Amino acid sequence: VIDGHNDLPNVIRERGEPPRDVAAFDLRGHAPGDTDIARLRAGGVGGQFWSVYIPSSPEVGARGFARAQLEQIDIALRVIERYPEAFSLALAAGDVEGAHASGRIASLLGIEGGHAIENSLGALRAYHRLGVRYMTLTHFHGNDWADSATDVARHGGLTKFGTEVVREMNRLGMLVDISHVSADTMHDVLDVAEAPVIFSHSNARALSPTPRNVPDEVLARLPRNGGVVMVSFISLFAVQGDEHARWQAAFEQETGVKLGDAGYDAALARYTALHPEPRATIADVADHVEHVRDVAGVDHVGIGADFFGEPAWMAAGLEDVASYPALFAELIRRGWKEEALAR
């Protein structure tokens, strides 16, 4: 399995004991949260895009997005270097194949949010030199050149500079990730992109009507582009119908806190203690996989679980990186054949 999104570097940065201490967060043992070497092996993970996520909040911006981004990339690279028997830094497709041949997990880096480049193509190029191989154009907040799915639209999609960002990423060979962006931004990217895009961790909006998911009209454009939707295991994006949307609206109304706001995690923990979050199932996630297949085609569906150190927020039965075989078993029960599963 090549997974599109795991937030382990941010778990180490924010929740390690002590925070940011790569050596103290021992991946050779049973690490806190959802990810360590033994469980990656049990899950059959052969390649992992490690997200080098930094928040898009004004508080982080005031201290410097680029500084936070460089620190997060440093953490990820030190994790890869610390476990050479398990991980191998991959900068190109051949490196992924080489890691697989040597029995190691190909490790790639993905920036989550274009705020990290601070409106600088030079910064984008510098991150590429450091090993970053995809960038999600926005996170919870929009930026000066692209609209987010979870923020007030400012541009109606991409600005002219946003178009130049996409073109420069294509030139560099950096995957354009359009998870988290608005539907208008998705369409604008597909209008200009000259290489396949990815959704590193998104599901089908037709099944789960959160703005974070992908509308069918965008899925239908993927065959022409060649892109891939990598389906997430997070309950928020996988529970079907409007049950989760109603729960989320009630949470935001009662707490006054929205996705991406400072204090969101703490407010959510307090709220869920009294009002449990609707929980997705393996069947829900499999339904999303099949919907992407049915609308876009089997060549355009993948897995981007989005493990971020909170097993309780994942679909039941898909709580950690050892659980990928459970999803494949469900797809086999539904009649998927080896060739389709291998894709």
Which sequence positions are flagged as catalytic?
Answer: 5, 7, 112, 139, 180, 201, 306
Q: Which two tokens stand for residue 230?
A: 């990598």
3-state SS, residue 273: helix
Cα gap 301→327, rounded to integer Å: 14
Cα gap 78→7, rounded to integer Å: 15
3-state SS, residue 153: coil
Cα gap 70→54, rounded to integer Å: 10
How many CB atoms are closer than 10 A to CB 215?
16
- φ, ψ (nearest 5 deg) of residue 172: -70, -25
Cα gap 269→106, rounded to integer Å: 34
Please tell me the total number of residues recorded for the chain in this structure.
343
Q: What is the DSSP letter of 313?
A: G
4 to 103, 107, 233, 309: CA distances (angstroms): 19, 11, 12, 16
Question: Are 86 and 80 a contacting pair, CB within 8 Å?
Answer: no
Burial of 336 (C-beta count, 10 Å sphere; 0-12/13-18/19+)? middle
Question: Are 213 and 238 a contacting pair, CB within 8 Å?
Answer: no
Q: Which two tokens stand for residue 207?
A: 């099944």
